[in-house]
Amino acid sequence: MLFVLGTSNNGDKKERILEESSTYHDIIQQDFLDAYRNLTWKALAWLRFVDEYCATARYVLKIDDDVVFDAIGLLKYLHIDERNSTEIKNENRIICGLFQGTNLVPVRKKGSKWYIISALLSL
């Protein structure tokens, strides 16, 4: 298990991160401010780490602390008898979710975690 972080301006947090990293060696830290708006940078950090250091890993699971995870269901899923399966081999499979619908609009309520300023909509 690894934790992906950006940087912090808080001295106490910096010290605790260093302590955690030196004790458990479980921190991947990159040079960007660790903020919700920088999740893309965080995703790139763990993808880069996996690419560089986990080339022989059969599976990689990325999960957040606010996600419900069914470990037993995943284990059952991964133990499919591929000799009798016509599905794509696991090493070539990407599993993801998709939001569908016609009501998918940017959140325009200031103060919301998901608020998007108009300038970002044109990017």
Q: Spell out the SS3 assignment of 75-111.
A: HHHHCCCHHHCCCCCHHHCCCCCCCCCCCCCCECCCC
Structural domain boundaries in the chain: 3-121
φ, ψ of residue 30 to 5 degrees: the values are -120, 165
pLDDT at 67: 75
* Token pair listed for 33: 């401010």
pLDDT in tens, 67-112: 777 777 777 777 755 445 555 455 555 566 656 666 777 778 888 8
Residues 106/116, Cβ–Cβ less than 8 Å? yes
DSSP character for 48?
Answer: H
pLDDT in tens, 33-58: 999 889 999 999 999 999 999 988 88
Q: What is the pTM of this model?
A: 0.61
